[in-house]
Amino acid sequence: MLVVGGGAVGACIAYELARAGVETVLLERERDLALGCSAGSAGFLTVGHSVPLATPESLRLGLRWLLDPAAPFQLRPRPAVLPWLARFVLSCRPGRAEAGVRISRALSAASLARHAALADSGLETTFEQRGILKVCETEPGLEAARAEAEAALADGVRSKALSAAELRELEPALAPRFAGGVYYPDEAHCDGAVFTRAVGEAAAASGAQLRPGVEVLRLVREDGRIERAETTAGPIRAGTVVLAAGVWSARLGRSADLFLPLEGGKGYHLELDPPEPAPRIPVLVKEARVGLTPLSGRVRFSGTLELAGLDERVDRRRLEAVLAAGLRALPQLAGRAPRQIWRGLRPCTPDGLPLIGRPAAVDNLVVATGHSHLGLVLAPVTGELVRELVLGQPPSHDLGPLSPNRFQPFL
């Protein structure tokens, strides 16, 4: 069994397969696990905020912010992305979007429980269940946040609306500028890099072979099967290949004549030394779509999603927008230089749901990618689903809406 990709998803897949007794080799192009989006995310482990990218609101805001280079969400039109955008627009229709939200929240609820179980088993994943606090800078924003919380209640997501005074009482580190907020008590967070490496180490302890620094250059397909992977360490053969290489999965899929419509969604984070008192609860600033996450010895400001293909260049305007939103919430950090600046490409499908399943045209390939901004959230449940596919076990969730066969190239 060959797993391509050493992020949170790939690590969880290797963990599940190795514990099931499957001989597993994991290849990661970087020098270590978790050097991509798994390390760069806000670290939120959420059900209430597990909303796919493709919604009517995303489409409306994407059009409104089309010419704003510092907007939280930006569609960058270019010829190569037009087919993806056409599918995205169709997926934003209310009925399809609502179905996507239900699917995403069901997967996230199962995965959050699995995150908790992994931590309870003794893995040092840094899992903490303190809830997530959505704060609003304006009265209209607060009204919208309360409406979102009310809608999420139908999916079993508990929340509590807070006044400005209640907000400050719950999280004293926040500035007094906010109109109010909504607290989601069952949500959790972790350090994605630490989580991924802990799971990877547990996979290795169960017999998986981890090979960082080995990049897969192409998948060679013969007679409807992946015959071998051509890598920087030479050709590698495997009975079954699991493609979990994030946004790079599309390119590898093309090498095997497989169509995976993935678009890179660029996001950023900055990390600063924590203030005194340090925030205790992760915070989402609604209007700016910026997350503030308390991690060990630092606070992470993360946000923006720019559909930018494979462009990894740093846009200072977007970084400054993330920093400004974070400093509005924690003004006591003004004047401090960031300890770290990161950007990465999230693998985004047009409908916002991941690609998990067996492609119809390739017998020995399993696809597990396209998780967008929810890769860390959904990694454990993805590992379970891939293990079930490989072993021929009944799937614990309906894989139909996640099938990699649901998209076909335009003529």
What is the per-residue pLDDT across 177-232, written as a single tens digit (0 to 9) for each?
999 999 999 999 999 999 999 999 999 999 999 999 999 999 999 999 999 999 99
User: Which residue in 86, 190, 201 sits closest to 130, CA to CA?
Assistant: 190
Which residues in the chain come in under a pLDDT of 50?
none
Do residues 327 and 174 touch, judged by C-beta distance below 8 A? no
pTM of the predicted protein model: 0.96
Q: Which two tokens stand for residue 86?
A: 């056409």
pLDDT given for residue 63 in this prediction:
87
pLDDT given for residue 50 in this prediction:
94
pLDDT given for residue 64 in this prediction:
87
Q: What is the CATH number of domain 2-402?
A: 3.50.50.60
Q: What is the CA radius of gyration of the chain?
A: 20
The side-by-side arrangement of strands in the sheet containing 355-357 is: 209-212, 25-28, 2-4, 241-243, 365-369, 355-357
Cα atoms in the 13 Å half-sphere on the side-chain side of 2:
24
pLDDT given for residue 410 in this prediction:
77
pLDDT given for residue 276 in this prediction:
87
pLDDT given for residue 411 in this prediction:
61
* Terminal-residue alpha carbon distance, the chain: 34
pLDDT given for residue 76 in this prediction:
73
